[in-house]
Amino acid sequence: MAALDEPNPTRSQLGTLFRLRGKLTLRQFTRERGRIIGAIVVILVFAPMILAATIGTATGYRTLEGQWPTALFGGVMVALWLIWLGFPIIATSINESADITRLLVFPISRRDLIFSTLLGTLFDYPTYLMLPLFIAVFIGFGFTTAFPVVIVAIFLCYGHMVLIGQFISVAIGGVLQSRRFRDVAIIVFSLLGSSCYFINLAFQSGMERLVASLSPGQEEAFAESFANFLPLNILQWFPTGAPARAVEQALAGSWGTAVLWLLYSAVLLAALTWIWFHLMNRLATGGGFLIGGRAQTEKEKPAKRKSNRRSPLDWLPDDLAALVGKELRSAWRIPQRRVGLVQGLLLPVFMMGPFLFSADFSGGRSTFPDWFGLTMPLYALFLFWSTSQNMLAWEGRGLPSLLLSPQPRWRLFLAKGMVFLLIAGAPYLVVGGAAMVLLRDWITVFGVLTGLGMGIATLAVTAVGSVIFPIPINLEAKRTRGAFQSGGNFKTGCATMTIIPISILVVNIPAVAMLGAAFYFDLPWLAAVGALFSLVYGAGILYAGSRLAGNLLMEREPELVATMKLPEE
């Protein structure tokens, strides 16, 4: 910020703000090198999709006939506008530029602040989704007589998309930043994302039933009504749909009408910009957000009376019972952990549902192969690893306070291991019990028990890994993925996806070997011995792993506290 208040007649304020935005983006990757891996994943996953969408829309603009090229243009622009409108609500602010409320104290013109906000989005991920689609619009309509209108339309659409996200963040920021909204948003949208498979199945089933119910005459009537449908009549009233109508009118030679539609969109953009800037001034001067901006006075809660009820944890030593109770309360009260708990209960349905729905259990036998029981240990490894990874970081900002306690460090990890065993073991045993009832063979029974022991051993590996390769977690994030957005360093990101899983497999080789040998030589007694060995072996490994993790923690406490500290905004 110092560069803004230093007089320099040769440097424009807008250029300084733009360079500041670039430095902030670069700092995200230099200070948190773990984000580099996330950026690579985003490129590999979304780049082909964006390229396909760009090619598809550009082809549609040039090859479709009648009303459909401009209707497609309007549909794409309105869809992008709705994404930018809803993204601050379901996740976080799209524009990660410098906090403009901090810039209002400097003698910067309103024009430079607004343009810096627009240009700053060139460094944001969603912009890379939007710009190729704008290029497709230029390819489709830019080489026609409507060239001037197309250029203005693209800039208007870009301005509307950027400012609508900013407006939503400022207008209802108090609601979006409230803990209650964050808790509800994390659970709702995480469960919605987890159920995409079933939503897709329901949609396909509904479409198939709709097509099957149409008679030949109805199909012709449906096709005729679709051909007469004019989507642009609806889309034109949206801020980013009006430019599409302007392009259509310009292509038809109605330049006056095209200009009117551009003016309609421009007036909406100017009004939105004026309201947004005044809301920013209100926020900077202490007026708070437009909705939910003022803190409510907290009512005094009556002190809770001590209950004399016996706890299920009374059989544990007092210190271990207190640690386990704290972990259980934390697993439910922290929204991200609550989502993990609910998803852990639903994960068996998502993974095994398609197999169970497609299987045939008629005649007392199923269509599952004989070796299906061998997949239960693999399922256990995945479930226990995904549930318990980075377990120490779930303390969040409370980690330094926890380390001030005189408890032996290995007891902390033993308590965490017991809680994660409950969280991951419950859904695993539900799936395992269902598999044993349906398949009724010895390999499934002993495979489930062997997998449980392997899951317990997995907790030891993740305990040690959480000390050696920690990743700070933002427990205040509004989304599940945002919890890990701090990313850690590059070494940690690579180790989390390679060294930890490989170590889990190596540690569980003895149990896997006995189960595999029992299946290969058809020796049920060996599988029974292997299952018992796996449970005892897993408990021993968990104890040894907790000891090792505790010793490592004592050696690395200052370093871990510094690593777990989230970067300052």
Q: What pLDDT, in 10s, does the model give residues 428-455?
A: 888 888 888 888 889 999 999 999 999 9
Residue 200 has pLDDT above 60, yes or no: yes
Instruction: Identify the pLDDT of residue 93.
Output: 45
Instruction: Identify the pLDDT of residue 23.
Output: 73
| CB atoms inside a 10 Å sphere around CB 121 | 24
- Confirm if 496 and 487 have CB atoms less than 8 A apart: no
Query: Which position has the higher pLDDT, 432 or 108?
Result: 432
When pLDDT is cut at 50, 70 and 90, the band that residue 207 belongs to is: low
Instruction: Identify the pLDDT of residue 481.
Output: 43
DSSP string over 237-293: TSTTTHHHHHHHHHHTT-HHHHHHHHHHHHHHHHHHHHHHHHHHHHHHTT---TTT-
Share of the chain above pLDDT 70, in %: 62
Query: What average pLDDT does the segment 89-115 reach?
Result: 60
What does the radius of gyration of the chain's CA atoms come to, in whole angstroms? 29
* Residue in the structure block whose two tokens are 């627009």: 118
Flag the least confident range among 12-26, 180-194, 244-258, 363-377: 180-194
Residue 86 has pLDDT above 50, yes or no: yes
Query: Which position has the higher pLDDT, 395 or 341?
Result: 395
Instruction: Identify the pLDDT of residue 360.
Output: 53
Residue 364 has pLDDT above 70, yes or no: no
Most confident by average pLDDT, 11-25, 70-84, 333-347: 70-84
Flag the least confident range among 62-66, 351-355, 409-413, 507-511: 351-355
pTM across the whole model: 0.55
Instruction: Identify the pLDDT of residue 162.
Output: 82
Dig out the tokens for 157 from the structure.
């659409």
Query: What average pLDDT does the segment 533-544 reach?
Result: 95
Query: What average pLDDT does the segment 126-135 reach?
Result: 80
Flag the least confident range among 87-96, 265-274, 399-408, 559-568: 87-96
Residue 250 has pLDDT above 60, yes or no: yes
> CA of 454: how far to CAs of 373, 457, 512, in Å?
14, 5, 8
Query: What average pLDDT does the segment 198-203 reach?
Result: 61
Residue 55 has pLDDT above 50, yes or no: yes
Cα torsion at 46, 50, 53, 59 (round to 10°)? Answer: -150
Residue 482 has pLDDT above 50, yes or no: no
d(CA 422, CA 259): 65
Please state the φ and ψ torsions of residue 146, each to the nearest 5 degrees: -90, 20
Instruction: Identify the pLDDT of residue 471.
Output: 81
Instruction: Identify the pLDDT of residue 446.
Output: 94
Flag the least confident range among 360-364, 454-458, 523-527: 360-364
Query: What average pLDDT does the segment 15-43 reach?
Result: 68
| Average pLDDT score, the chain | 76
Instruction: Identify the pLDDT of residue 263.
Output: 95
Residue 7 has pLDDT above 50, yes or no: no
Share of the chain above pLDDT 90, in %: 23
Instruction: Identify the pLDDT of residue 456.
Output: 95
When pLDDT is cut at 50, 70 and 90, the band that residue 84 belongs to is: confident
Instruction: Identify the pLDDT of residue 95.
Output: 43
Query: What average pLDDT does the segment 204-218 reach?
Result: 62
Contacts of 361 (CB under 8 A, 6+ apart): 438
Query: What average pLDDT does the segment 480-508 reach?
Result: 71
d(CA 382, CA 36): 25
Query: What average pLDDT does the segment 144-167 reach?
Result: 87
Contacts of 290 (CB under 8 A, 6+ apart): 170, 171, 172, 174, 279, 282
- Confirm if 471 and 486 have CB atoms less than 8 A apart: yes
Residue 477 has pLDDT above 60, yes or no: no
Query: Which position has the higher pLDDT, 211 or 423?
Result: 423
d(CA 478, CA 92): 7
Residue 515 has pLDDT above 80, yes or no: yes
Residue 197 has pLDDT above 60, yes or no: no
Dig out the tokens for 550 from the structure.
């505790």
Instruction: Identify the pLDDT of residue 551.
Output: 92
d(CA 462, CA 125): 32
d(CA 314, CA 416): 17
- Confirm if 78 and 238 have CB atoms less than 8 A apart: yes
Query: Which position has the higher pLDDT, 50 or 24?
Result: 50
Query: Which position has the higher pLDDT, 340 or 232?
Result: 232
Query: What average pLDDT does the segment 507-520 reach?
Result: 92
- Confirm if 246 and 151 have CB atoms less than 8 A apart: no
Flag the least confident range among 2-6, 83-87, 188-192, 345-349: 2-6
Query: What average pLDDT does the segment 42-60 reach?
Result: 84
* DSSP tag of 298: P
Instruction: Identify the pLDDT of residue 83.
Output: 83
Q: What is the 3-state secondary structure (H, E, C) of 348-407?
A: HHHHHHHHHHHCCCHHHCCCCCHHHHHHHHHHHHHHHHHHHCCHHHHHHHHHHHHHCCCC
User: What's the pLDDT tens digit per position in 521-531?
Assistant: 999 999 999 99
> CA of 446: how far to CAs of 26, 211, 377, 528, in Å?
53, 47, 10, 6
Residue 300 has pLDDT above 60, yes or no: no
Measuring CA to CA, which residue among 464, 463, 466, 480 is closest to residue 563? 466
